[in-house]
Structure 1
């Protein structure tokens, strides 16, 4: 999760988030090069006392400063579109979890094979333990297996919400009467936090998302001990 004075993205725990950070770094590098080049050119022209006032056209220069920015934009567009399709691609998920938004809590169902469901509420301040995070802890976390392709189906029963998990690079709207799908494969065990990211009413700020990733054998044991 985010740390105090942190200026970057959260540490990635999914392949999607790794690719998002890579694209962000690539775009930022291009921005830095363009700013330095343009700033240096402007400064050089400003400090240079030599001016040529009889230049009416320069087709070569105009061609260059049209083609080069176009190539730069294309170099940004290609990986962006590639990542967009990668995020929507879902190849034979092994686990399906349904996330249902309510005002102001979440319900989860492992409905593909196990017919298991539970509600997840904000953990009250009086029930929190040392080391837990205020406004982020929940009474029942989603538990997903490590390095297993997982599909999330997200919907809502009342207003529009958004299920978001920054460290996993996930955000999807929960719309009443509609199922939105996203794929996930977590490569690092741990506990991850998110929140509803769509203004949904008075208690919007008190609608966190808690997710825990554990090895597959421990995950099946957790299912049997708690629900089966």
Structure 2
């Protein structure tokens, strides 16, 4: 899906779906998000976590097969607040990493205005992610903090090492190759264990196994990663 709201075309990754999201201890959050996406009125859903735990994955998954706008606010310096105009008739608006614009009055005012427009239109679901709860982010506008707290606020819990292994095996299976427990545990002990890094490596391994027609083994990983 290409989202025309961004100055440059932005495509959502095809492999970040609900089927490829390993829930772990986040079943309540996951089920509540599914329920919200089935509604036809304005709702706010706020997901926070202190680590890279899958927040963006959930936004990408939510945006599939919907009239959606996904805006990565960590890249706000490449964007302009006016990008938030014209979103009133969308099914879904996703604001990823809203804490990135804290302290930037023009962005805060634009998001506050977006809330008011979406509330009045009462059509769009608003999904928001951040690295902390609304009240712990140093926003300039107190009213924006209030708006961010209107809906459901959930902490996305980090996966245990065992669950990270299962998440990697699920992603590998969906990609059409096998990640053995032995290989998965080796990977978890040798690299940065945040899920974004691990999934990026998995994509690299997938390409390598296809190109060389080899199974994914520990010696093969050592060769790829030059360990």
Q: Under a length normalisation based on structure 1, what TM-score does the superposition of the two structures give?
A: 0.25
Q: Which has the larger radius of gyration?
A: 1
More strand by share: 1
